[in-house]
Amino acid sequence: MKRRSRTDIAVDILRVAMNGAKKTHIVYEVNLNFNIAQKYLEMLKEKELIKHENGLFITTEKGKVFQEMAKELKL
């Protein structure tokens, strides 16, 4: 099985959080453990790609743009 890049994991998290998702849902959907998921969520929050509101993580507009750019670069 091929290892995922950091960008792949970040894009997967942003995809799952598009309509809002709890941390547990993100962990299971993206197939991460809680500690690693926490580090990625903190990094995405610092870069303003995701926001945390009412217990849900939601992809921001900046996060949606990043996600689209990452998809295009993969071709």
Q: pLDDT-derived band of residue 75, with 50, 70 and 90 as boundaries?
A: low
Residues for the chain: how many in total?
A: 75
**Mean pLDDT (whole number) for 21-33:** 96
Beta bridge partners of 39: none
Mean pLDDT across 17-44: 96
User: Model confidence over 31-65: pLDDT tens digits?
Assistant: 999 999 999 999 999 999 999 999 999 999 999 99
Q: Write down the pTM of the prediction.
A: 0.92
CA quadruple 40, 43, 45, 50: dihedral positive or negative?
A: negative
For residue 71, what pLDDT is reported?
87
